[in-house]
Amino acid sequence: MSTRRDFLQIAGLSTLALSLPLADTLAASVFSKEDKVLRVAIMGLGSYGTRVAEAMKESKRAKLVGVISGTPSKVETWRQKYGIPDKNCYNYENFDQIKENPDIDAVYVITPNSLHKPYGIRVAKAGKHVICEKPMALNAAEGREMIAACKAAGVHLLVGYRMHFEAKTLEVVRMQRAGEFGKTLFFQGLSGFIIGDPTQWRLNRELAGGGAMMDIGIYSINGSRYMLGEEPIWVTAQEVKTDPVKFKEGVDETITFQMGFPSGAVASCLSTYALNNLDKFYLDGTKGFAEMQPSTGYGPIQARTNNGPIEREHITHQTVQMDEMAAIILDGKKPVIPVDGEEGLKDLVIVDAIYEAVKTGKKVMIG
C-alpha cells in the first residue's frame, strides 16, 4: 500500500513537466524526521474540533499539545484522551496566559463565528499564531481587524481552507492554470444540506452572523475564485425562505447568487440549509470541463474532466491541512492556493456584497 509520503512524491514528479511551481510545492511536502513540529492548542472542543484532533494523530508536522474550552468536563476528557499536560489546559477566561507557555506555538480557533475575531485577536496578542475556521469573521471589517492585530503581533493568521490542500482539487486548479480547459467561462457551485437541531448555534444570528451562507455557502464563494483563477467584480443575489420559524430574521435559509469576473466569466451558485445532496462544483471552458461531486465534503472527493476521472489517493483533509500549515508557519512555504488572512478577507468582502444584494435587490460592485 502506498503511503502519504509516496503519494506526495509521485504527485510532485507527475506535475513537473506541466507546472514547476506546483510541482515544487508538492515535492516540498515530503517532510523529514528532522523537520520541526508545530505545537497546536485547539480552542473549541466540539464535533469539528474533535475531527481535527483525530486527524492530527497522523500529522507529521503538527501535534496537539493544548486545549481551550469553557466546559471543564470536555477539558478533562481531552486531557486524558490525548495526553495533554495540565499546564496546557485553559478556559476562555484565562487563555491569555498562553503568552507565558513556550510549549504552544499556535491556537486553532474552532468556535462559533462571532467569537473568531475577539478570540483570534487575543491569541495574537499572546504572541501565538492564529489558525481560524472559516468564515474568518462575521464581515470584512472584522476580518481587517484580525489581519491588523496579527501583523502587529508578528504572528501568522491562517484560515481553515482544507480544500486548498486536497489533491484532486489541486489537480483541477493546475489544469485550469495550464490552460487545459481553454478559456474558463462558467462556474457552478451548489452547497447545501438540510440542517438539523433548530436550537444549534448555526441558526443563532448573534453567534453565526447569518445562516447557510456563513456555513456552507462560503465553499462556493471560495471555490469559484480558485477554480476560475480570478476575483469577482460584481454580485447579484436572491433569498428564499420557506420556514421563517426555523430561520429567523437575519438567518438565511437559501440564497442563490451570481458573480461576474473581469474575464467575462460568470458564476451561478446556491447556498442552502433546506436541501440535501448539494455538494457540486462545475467548471466549463472553451476546450473542456471539470466536475467535482462531492466537491467539498470530508471525502473522498470525486472529480472528472473531459479527459476522464481524476485519480488521487484520499488522505484525511485535516491531516494534510495541518501538515501544510505547519510548513507555512515554520518553513515559510507558499501554498498553491493561499490560506492566509488576506484570502479569508476576500471571501468576507464577497459575503458582505451578497447580503447587500439580497437586501437591495441590486447588482453590487466589488472593489
CA–CA distance, 339 with 356 (Å, rounded to integer): 25
DSSP 321: H
**What does the buried/exposed string (b/e) look like for 265-301 if buried means 16 or more CB atoms within 10 Å of the residue's CB?**
bbbbbbbbbbeeebbbbbbbbeebbbbbbbbbeeeeb
Q: Which of 108, 119, 219, 355 is catalytic?
A: 219
- Kindly list the distances between the CA atom of residue 59 and the CA atoms of 22, 63, 99, 230, 325, in Å, as whole numbers in the listed order: 22, 7, 25, 32, 11
Q: Which of 134, 168, 280, 346 is catalytic?
A: 134
Q: Pairing state of beta strands 234-240 and 364-365? A: antiparallel
3-state SS of the chain: helix, strand, coil percent to 5?
40, 20, 40
The grid coordinates listed for 341 are 488572512
Instruction: Confirm whether 36 is a catalytic residue.
Output: no
Edge-to-edge strand list for the sheet holding 62-68: 89-90, 62-68, 38-43, 106-109, 129-132, 157-159
- Kindly list the distances between the CA atom of residue 127 and the CA atoms of 17, 136, 175, 260, in Å, as whole numbers in the listed order: 41, 19, 39, 40
Instruction: Confirm whether 82 is a catalytic residue.
Output: no
Cβ atoms within 10 Å, residue 5 = 12
CA–CA distance, 280 with 276 (Å, rounded to integer): 12
CA–CA distance, 69 with 50 (Å, rounded to integer): 12
**Interior CA angle at 188 toward 187 and 192, to 5°?**
145
Residue (of 152, 358, 177, 142) closest to 255 by Cα position: 358
Q: Which residue has the cell 462531492?
A: 294
CA–CA distance, 101 with 104 (Å, rounded to integer): 6
Report the catalytic residues. 134, 219
